[in-house]
Amino acid sequence: MTRSVSEHQLAVEQLLGAGGYARAGRGGGAAESLPLTAALGRVLAADVHAPVALPPFDNSQMDGYAVHLRDLGDGPAAAGNGEPEGHLRLHVGAPVPAGSSPPPLEPGTAVPIMTGAMVPAGTGAVVPIERADPPRFPALSTGDGGQPVVQLPAGTPAGTFIRRAGSDIAAGDLALEAGTLLGPAQLGLLAACGLAEVAVRTPFRVLLLSTGDEVTEPGGPLGDGRIYDANTTLLEAALRDAGAEVLRTRVLSDDPEKLREALDTPPAAEIHLILTSGGISQGAYEVVKQALSGSGVEFPGVALQPGGPQAIGTLGGVPFLGFPGNPVSALVSFEMFLRPALTALTGAPAPRVALPARLTAPASSPAAKHQVRRGLYRDGRVELIGGPGSHLLNALAGSNALVHFPVGLSEAAAGDEVTVWLIGPVPPPAPPVPAPTHQELPS
């Protein structure tokens, strides 16, 4: 039985959608309240309405002078005669630092006001200090009677450099919708609203098991014919990066009895998915296949390369997925099937950014399969890194994009457009190649 990629994507989404996490109201039923920074990367459990307006009061956008509404415009200056045309000469009142609650402003008086300070009642505009004469606060000139005066340009439109109360959000308005992924900006908004804690959905919890007699925990010696376990780390990191929590086991052998025992042992916490790597293909020791035969778990082939062999079902009512053992196959399986299903179910992680890119070199792909190559995307172009082999973990680690060659495409030329999903940071554009100098030009 071979499935298309989209059929298996739907099957995985439906599997999680029918599991315990979904039944508990997408985890929202068991929401927990966390201090704001502890909620980074988590998903908001309920709508949050702004308890206060932002800004809470009219305030100055600049360090400068608050000028009375009646003193604005081209009318006669309020204090003294002989000022240059188009300027105001105003008495200087008591300064308004941020955090103070100033008295109303008198016409004919300008008060020094600092960025973020509450504008006095009656203020029409704020004139930045750089436009004042003198252009600094401490060295104010002294007019008749010894009272400090300042000269400001006339004609400043009303409202200039005043940040109105509620201009960002009004009190009571919806600040963040349930299901919002909480990043620095969203958490900053909650803090600005005066909230110290936030209710988030419980994390999606995964029991992760890697299998294989040849697979050895990193950190110890490596025997002949053995390899270190890359997949547990790779998949745990991918899951955690996607906002999930991971319970991991030690690497399990190719003994189906041992795997069944491990799966029958109740985990320390409620889990929403069991995920295995390895042991699902056509070999003589396919531990996951053997341990789960007759359990209702299916082993479809998916028209995907890498990531062709897959396992899917439920175990004791808990959703189950088995990814192939090759490390690149495991990660591609995660990106193609599990990550989008987690986004649909839990609101995290943010979907991958998909972009068009031009191939830097020709490539071929098996027409009957959706091939996912790895590449380095930059400047609208993508260079394939390494071949299609699913053991090429070093090439994957040097890539920032998954490059999609859909079913039906067998040959692509340099310059052809493909779709890439960004999985890593994009380097800045390459510096332009300098034109040859006169001396370098061939004679």
Looking only at the bridges linking them, the beta strands covering 370-378 and 304-305 are: parallel
Closest CB to ligand LQZAQKY5 among 93 and 324?
324
Using CB under 6 A, which of 60, 186, 231, 371 touches ligand LQZAQKY5? Answer: 231
Closest CB to ligand LQZAQKY5 among 226 and 378?
226
DSSP state of 266: P
Q: Is 231 in the site for ligand MOO (CB under 6 A)?
A: no
Least Å from the CB of residue 338 to ligand LQZAQKY5: 15
With CA atoms as reference, report the closest residue to 52 among 164, 162, 163, 173. Answer: 173
Distance CA 400, CA 425 (A): 6
How many residues sit close enough to ligand MOO to count as binding (CB under 6 A)?
9
b/e for 349-371, b at 16 or more Cβ within 10 A?
A: beebeeeebebeeebebeeebbb
Cα torsion angle, 116, 117, 123, 126, sign = negative
Q: Is 307 in the site for ligand MOO (CB under 6 A)?
A: yes
Q: Choose one: 23-31, 69-77, 120-128, 212-220; the region binding ligand LQZAQKY5 (CB under 6 A).
A: 212-220
Closest CB to ligand LQZAQKY5 among 2 and 265?
2
Q: Is 329 in the site for ligand MOO (CB under 6 A)?
A: yes
Q: Choose one: 19-27, 114-122, 158-166, 320-328; the region binding ligand LQZAQKY5 (CB under 6 A).
A: 320-328
Q: What part of residues 52-81 is at the interface with ligand LQZAQKY5 (CB under 6 A)?
A: none
Q: Is 277 in the site for ligand MOO (CB under 6 A)?
A: no
3-state secondary structure of 247: strand
E strand intervals along 290-344: 301-302, 304-305, 311-315, 318-323
Contact criterion met (CB below 8 Å) for 369 and 393: no
Using CB under 6 A, which of 10, 52, 171, 227 touches ligand LQZAQKY5? Answer: 227
Residue 425 structure tokens = 């940071």
Task: Give every CB contact of residue 106 below 8 A, 6+ residues apart in sequence.
Answer: 68, 93, 122
Q: Is 332 in the site for ligand LQZAQKY5 (CB under 6 A)?
A: no
Q: Is 326 in the site for ligand MOO (CB under 6 A)?
A: yes
Using CB under 6 A, which of 306, 327, 347, 386 touches ligand MOO? Answer: 306
- Where helices occur in 359-440 by DSSP H, the ranges are 393-397
Burial of residue 226 (CB within 10 Å: 0-12, 13-18, 19+) is middle
Q: Is 386 in the site for ligand MOO (CB under 6 A)?
A: no
Q: Site residues (CB under 6 A) for ligand LQZAQKY5?
A: 210, 212, 214-215, 227, 229-232, 277-283, 286, 306, 308-309, 324-327, 329, 390
Q: Site residues (CB under 6 A) for ligand MOO?
A: 305-309, 324, 326, 329, 390
